[in-house]
Amino acid sequence: MPYNTRMDLNKKLTPEQYKVTQQCGTEAPFSGKYYDHSEVGDYICVCCDQVLFSSKTKFDSGTGWPSFSDIKKIESVKLIDENSYGYIRVEVRCKKCDAHLGHVFDDGPTNTGKRYCINSASLDFIES
């Protein structure tokens, strides 16, 4: 997959996007372009363009990161248990290109019970 070489990504991504997706970084809260974004459409992986989230499941969690109650297609991501900072978190990665997206928590406000807390830097947006 030629788009997925580190060198190509270096050219395609901003330094912030590279740090978040390739080095498991976290953008500062309230700094990203999508936490306060309510257009209708799909959020895609900034690295490989795979569709990840729909604006229909986006909600304002007050955390300063884009938050979703569900994945558009659950098979498009992989979830990894991460034991760090003394507690267990579940990391969310793009299944296609392995980009780090964010984390998922079990305190979501809708019937899914999930809160996908995702970095704006991991996402791009397609209006529909």
Among 9, 20, 44, 48, binds Zn ion (CB under 5 A): 48
| Per-residue mark of binding to Zn ion, 26-45 (x: CB under 5 A) | -------------------x
- Secondary structure string (H, E, C) spanning 79-100: EEEEEECCEEEEEEEECCCCCE
Q: Under a CB-based contact definition with an 8 Å cutoff, are residues 102 and 117 in contact?
A: yes
Cβ-based nearer residue to Zn ion, 2 or 86:
2
Q: Is residue 77 involved in binding Zn ion (CB under 5 A)?
A: no
Count CB-CB contacts under 10 A for residue 53.
Answer: 28
Q: Is residue 71 involved in binding Zn ion (CB under 5 A)?
A: no
Q: How many residues does the chain have?
A: 128
Give me the residues that bind Zn ion (CB under 5 A), please: 45, 47-48, 50, 94, 96-97, 99
